Amino acid sequence: MRMFSKHVSSLLAAYIDGQLRAREARRVTLHLEHCEHCRRERELVESGMSAVEHLSLVHAPDAIWTAIEAALPSRPLWQTQRNPAWRFVFATLVFILLAGAGFWVFEQRIHRPGMAWELRPIQGTPVVNAKPVHGAVRVGAGEWIETNSSASVTVKLGEIGVVDIGPNTRLTLVTARPSENRLALVRGQIHAKISAPPKLFFVDTASGTAVDLGCEYSLHTDEEGSGQLDVTQGWVAFQWKGQESLVPAGASCLTLPKAGPGVPYFDDASGTFKRGVYNFAAAKFEGPWLEVILGDARVRDTLTLWHLLPRVGVRDRERIYSRMAALAPVPAGISRAKVLRLDPETLKRWKDELAWVW
Amino acid sequence: MRFGMFVLLSAALAMAQDFAFQVASPVASQDFHFKAAAFVFRTTGCSSAEAPKISATAEGIISNQRQSVPLKVVEGSKPGVYAVFQSWPRDGQWLVDLTGTCGPATAGALIPVERNGFNRNSAKFFSHRPTNNEIEGSLTELAQKGNK
């Protein structure tokens, strides 16, 4: 398998430090899941880094210089003997540079805000990196959190929000930086309440990435990527391979294995409508279920219809446009031709207007 | 000539929107600061150079006692979009009385806010400041609905 032929040893230190780009970090996460060799290496790197962190800086005793001088050969290999002061200056400079670099690394790892999350068990005994956790601990990038059927935890993401992790969940913290907080949810359920500005908190799943746009939501998924996103406040964008579903408060969206996010629908839509959406998606957005959706759509169900526009063929798109226009007046400046051509700017403007009836 | 002017005038009148409120879920504002608002709203049909003047009051009944709570209307990052945050008690039946003026025009609205959010379908819109009778009538309807 290609995954095993490309070990990630060289990236591990940066991965643990949260310095990798999101895409690269995701690749490392996936690789680690399947590669015992790299997992062992990660543990070694982690323990090495941890040991470095616990070392305290001490000043060298003055006597050491006398000892070094004494140990030096009386006749140097080259003519440095002519200027022993330079040697001393050079050694001092190297020492200062090394000490400075060490201090900088220490500061970056320990004191940078948002570098670690605070995990606290709610019930049962969760596991962090295969070790049971009984009280509050700090978790950082690269660490795995797992709960069994009777365990749940709450994780405080610095100042930006809180994530509750439900039972039977396995996830890893991919990035914990002030500018990006990202976790990879392998399976299970989380509930996130984020108070930070949009696009600071991301959750990767097998069927796409949930991007926080200032929100509160629940997300559950299995290892294949089947799952559901329920939004209670704000917006969540669910993205996968250039496809995006924008899910507002009061709406949900199914996630499908190898097909990315489904089409969002409002939770108060009729059962017939929801069934239609589910079956139409399962039929790869073709066939008679569109008739059911169009027939049962209310004004606020234009949320679903708007998302269907880029997913269907031109003929069905025309039908959807007509139904949307009948449900909510098309605002000035939104041209039918541009909608049918899927002009991104036109679709965005229409969505922003439709949001006033969602 | 006269016919042409008549057509133009008629078209202009038909296109002119009355000054009114449009109320929506907080998601419509596209402003994350408003995500916890009770609702957001904007005005339509105000062509005055000055921004419309808006006031809001929460009117409610708790255990048969009438209460009024003056509200602060918050303007968002997009001009003309405002939010109302819940600063009235959770108990009882409540609605928000919105009144706006734009030049000589006035718009009013009574927006019921229930436990799970504002009720779009029961909202009432007026071209005047809501009267006491209209407020009391709406509260009575809410109370009756709440008792069912």
Instruction: Search chain B and give the residue with CA nearest A235.
Output: B27
- Is it the case that residue B108 has pLDDT exceeding 60? yes
Has residue A214 been placed in a domain?
yes
DSSP string covering A42-78? HHHHHHHHHHHHHPPP-PPPTHHHHHHHHHS-SS-SS
Same domain, A130 and A245: yes
pTM score, whole prediction: 0.72
Q: What is the mean pLDDT of each run of 10 residues along chain A (358 residues)?
A: 62 76 73 75 68 55 66 55 71 82 56 69 94 93 94 92 96 90 95 91 93 92 92 92 91 86 94 96 93 96 97 96 96 94 96 94
Chain B residues touching residue A234 (CB < 8 angstroms): 26-27, 32, 35
* Contact between chains at A250 and B25 (C-beta distance less than 8 A): yes
Q: What distance in Å separates the CA atoms of residue A102 and residue B69, rounded to the nearest whole number? A: 59
Same domain, A50 and A68: no
pLDDT at residue number A110: 43
- First CA to last CA across chain B, in angstroms? 62
CB A238 within 8 A of CB A231: no
pLDDT at residue number A162: 95
Instruction: Search chain A and give the residue with CA nearest B27.
Output: A234
Chain B residues touching residue A250 (CB < 8 angstroms): 25, 117
B117-118 and B105-114 beta bridge pairing = antiparallel
Gap from A265 CA to chain B (nearest CA, Å): 15
Rounded average pLDDT over B38-48: 90
Report the CATH number at residue A171. 2.60.120.1440
Same domain, A105 and A191: no
Cα B142 vs. chain centroid, distance in angstroms? 17
Check CB contact of A358 with chain B, cutoff 8 Å.
Answer: yes
Same domain, A23 and A93: no
Helical pair A271-282 and A289-296, crossing angle rounded to 10 deg: 150
Boundary residue ending a domain (A262, A291, A324)? A262
A323: nearest Cα among A302, A337, A344: A302
* Contact between chains at B28 and A213 (C-beta distance less than 8 A): no
Q: What distance in Å separates the CA atoms of residue A239 and residue A244, rounded to the nearest whole number? A: 4
Instruction: Search chain B and give the residue with CA nearest A213.
Output: B32
Gap from A313 CA to chain B (nearest CA, Å): 28
Check CB contact of A232 with chain B, cutoff 8 Å.
Answer: no
Cα B16 vs. chain centroid, distance in angstroms? 20
Rounded average pLDDT over B136-144: 91
Has residue A203 been placed in a domain?
yes
Domains of chain B: 19-147 (2.60.40)
Gap from B113 CA to chain A (nearest CA, Å): 16
Has residue A27 been placed in a domain?
yes
Interface probe for A, chosen from B32, B40, B41 (most Cβ of A below 10 Å), is B32
Enclosing domain of residue A106: 63-111
Same domain, A50 and A74: no
Q: What distance in Å separates the CA atoms of residue A226 and residue A64, rounded to the nearest whole number? A: 64
* Contact between chains at B27 and A352 (C-beta distance less than 8 A): no
Same domain, A229 and A310: no
Structural domain tally of chain A?
4
A163: nearest Cα among A172, A174, A171, A155: A155
- Asked if the ipTM is above 0.90, the reply is no
